[in-house]
Chain A
Amino acid sequence: MGKVFRFDNDVDTDQIIASQYLLFPSVEEMAPHTFESLDADFAANVRPGDYVVAAENFGCGSSREQAPSVLKALGVRAVLAKSFARIFYRNCINIGLPAIVCKDLYDHVQSGDEIELSMSEGTVTAGTQTYACTKLPAHLQGILDQGGLIASLNQD
C-alpha cells in the first residue's frame, strides 16, 4: 500500500521540477524541489512506495527527463493518470518508472488515501474498489520490466 498525492490537469514539467534546478549536479540534489510551486511540502512528505495520481495530460511541456527522475529518486512507485504527455511518458518507461493510464482512479481518490497497484493484474485497489488500468504495449512493458532502457539495451 502507498499513499496518494493527487494533482490536477495539465501539470507541466516546470511544475514537477523547475528549470533553475536542472543544472544541480545530481537528481538526488534536485529531488527536494519536486512540485515546489504546487506543493512545497511534497518532497518532505512523500515516502517510498507512494503514488502520484493525476488527471489529464500529466507531464506536459519540456523534454526534461529530470521530471520523472526526481519522482523515482523520491521513491514514487508509479504515476497513475488519466493521460500523459508523450515525452514524459517515454521518459518514464526509459528510466523504469511505471506511468500507468488509469481513467477512473482520479475521480475516486483524494490525497492521503491508501492504494495498491498490481502491475501484473493491471489494476489499482483503493479501499473496497478496484480500477482497471490500460495495459502497456508489449514492447514498452519489456523495457519497463527490465528496469528501463539502459538495462534493456545492455541485455540486448
Chain B
Amino acid sequence: MGMTLIEKIIAHNIGRESVTPGEIVTVNVDRVMVHDIFIPFVADKFEEMGFSKIWDPDKMVLIYDHLVPASQLDDARHFAKGDAFAAKYGVKNVHRSDGICHQLMTEAGYVKPGDIAFGTDSHTVTYGCVGAFSTGIGYTEMAGILGTGKLWIRVPETIKVEVNGTLPANVSSKDVILQILGDLRADGATYKSLEFVGSTFDAMSVASRMTMSNMTVECGAKCGLFAPDEKTAEYCGISAEDFKNDAFLQSLKGDPDAAYERVLTYRAEDFVPVAACPSQVDNIHPVSEIAGLAVDQVFLGSCTNGRLEDLAAAADILRGKKIAPFVKMIVTPASRKIYREALEAGILETLAEAGAMITHPGCGLCCGRAGGILTDNEVVVATNNRNFLGRMGTSKVQIYLASPKTAAWTALTGRISVPE
C-alpha cells in the first residue's frame, strides 16, 4: 500500500521502507530552532540534564524575534542568556534582529524539503510549506534534543485537504485556511498531519502556502504539508535540475493508494473572505456578516501574513488613499529581507503615505508584549494566527483575524469591510 507524505518523510529519516500511523518511532533531527522567550529555560534544562555539548551545534538556530528590540529589562536578560549559551556551546547560527523565526528558517535556508525540524514554538509547523516535517515542542524536550539529536514521535494519521479551481480575486490563502479551521474545529486534527493537494495549491506561491501551514496548529495538527514542487525548489535554492534528479525529493507526495483518515474537498470558487471572530480561531464567519463594525486598530504582519505579497496586497488597496483617521494601522514585515524588498518596491512608502506605522521586523503585536497592545472593548483586525482572550492586551479586547486584503480595506474605511 502507498504512503502519505508524512509517512514518507519519517520512513526515509529512520531508514525504513514504511511506517504506520500510531507507531512510536525515534527520529534523527535535521534542525532545531529556539527563540528568545524560551532560550533561558532551554539553557537551564540542558545543563540540568548533565549534557556538556550540543550533539551538532550547526543544527541549532537561535533567533531573537518575540522581544526585539528589548522593551523591558527582562527581555534584555533573555538576550544575554542566549548569547552566553551560544558562546559556550559553539552555536554560530544566531539571528539577533533579522526577523521572525518561522520566516527565517526557510528564508535563510535552514530547512529543506523532506527535513525533520523541531522548534520551541507552536508555529514551527510553518515549514510544512516546503514539504518538511516540523512541529513545536516544549523547552525541556528541546534540551533533550540538543543533547541527543533525537526525539520520539508518534506517526500521525493524515487528513487530506483537496482544493481545485481558481480562488475569487478578493480571497487569499488566509481565507482558505480559516475556512478549513472553521470546518475542522480547534481540535479537529489533533495529533494528525494535514496534506494539502489540488490545483489551487499548485497555483499558490510558497508564501501563500506558508500562511496555510502556519495555521494548521490552530486545529491541533502536528504538521501541515505541501508536496515540494518547482516553486519550492526555487525558493529553497535547489536548482531545477537537482530537484528533478533527486529521487527522494521527487517521491515527496502522497501516493494515490495511501490511507487517509479523512478527505476534505472544496471548490476554490466557493471560498469567500472570512474572519475568525472573538475569541476562538475556529469561530469563522464571512466578513460580509460582520461588516460595518468600527475598529480601533489594524495589524498587518506576523509569521502568518507579514510577507512581501501581503504588504503588496495592502499597498495596492491603499495606494493614493488615506486610512480612516481614527484607526491606528501597524505594519510589521516578517523579516529584514522582506522589509528591504518592500522598501525597494515602494510598498513601505505607499503604506506610510496612507497613514500606516511601519515597525521593525519581528513578532510585534502578535505575541501581545509590545508594539500596539489594546485595552477593554477595543476592536482590532489582525492578520496573525491567534485571537485568544487576552492575546493583545486585556481579555476584553476584540480580536478579528483576517486576510491582508480584508485588513487593508478595513483600515481604509475604519469599519470591517469585504475587500473589493
Residues 60-76 of chain A, each 1 if its beta carbon lies under 8 Å from chain B, else 0 = 11111100000000000
For the complex, give the distance between the alpha carbons of A60 and B185 in Å. 12
Write the residues of chain B forming the contact surface with A, with a CB cutoff of 8 angstroms. Answer: 24, 37-38, 41, 45, 48-50, 67, 72, 74-75, 77-78, 119-122, 124, 135-141, 144, 147-148, 152, 186-187, 190-191, 218, 220, 222, 280, 367-369, 386, 388-391, 395
For the complex, give the distance between the alpha carbons of A95 and B142 in Å. 13
For the complex, give the distance between the alpha carbons of A87 and B187 in Å. 13
- If A57-B187, A62-B136, A64-B38 are given as contacts, then 19 extra A-B residue pairs at C-beta distance below 8 Å, sorted by A number, are A19-B369, A20-B369, A22-B37, A23-B37, A23-B67, A23-B75, A60-B220, A63-B122, A63-B124, A63-B137, A65-B140, A83-B187, A83-B190, A95-B138, A137-B24, A149-B144, A150-B48, A153-B50, A153-B148
Residues 9-22 of chain A, each 1 if its beta carbon lies under 8 Å from chain B, else 0 = 11010110011101
A98 within 8 A of B: no
A129 within 8 A of B: no
Chain A nearest CB, measured from B271 CB (Å) = 24
Number of A-B contacts (CB under 8 A): 114
Pick the residue among A19, A56, A91, A148 that contacts B187 (CB under 8 A).
Answer: A56
For the complex, give the distance between the alpha carbons of A58 and B75 in Å. 29
For the complex, give the distance between the alpha carbons of A9 and B115 in Å. 34
Pick the residue among A14, A64, A139, A150 that contacts B389 (CB under 8 A).
Answer: A14
For the complex, give the distance between the alpha carbons of A20 and B121 in Å. 16
Write the residues of chain A forming the contact surface with B, with a CB cutoff of 8 angstroms. Answer: 9-10, 12, 14-15, 18-20, 22-25, 37, 56-57, 60-65, 83-87, 90-91, 94-95, 137, 139, 148-150, 153-154
Subset of 28 A-B contacts with CB under 8 Å = A9-B187, A10-B280, A14-B390, A14-B391, A19-B369, A23-B67, A23-B75, A57-B190, A57-B220, A60-B187, A60-B218, A65-B38, A65-B140, A83-B187, A87-B135, A87-B136, A90-B137, A91-B141, A94-B140, A94-B141, A95-B140, A149-B140, A149-B141, A149-B144, A153-B144, A153-B147, A153-B148, A154-B50
Pick the residue among B124, B369, B390 that contacts A37 (CB under 8 A).
Answer: B390
Q: A19-B367, A154-B50 are in contact. Are A94 and B138 (CB under 8 A)?
A: yes
State whether B48 touches A61 (Cβ < 8 A). no
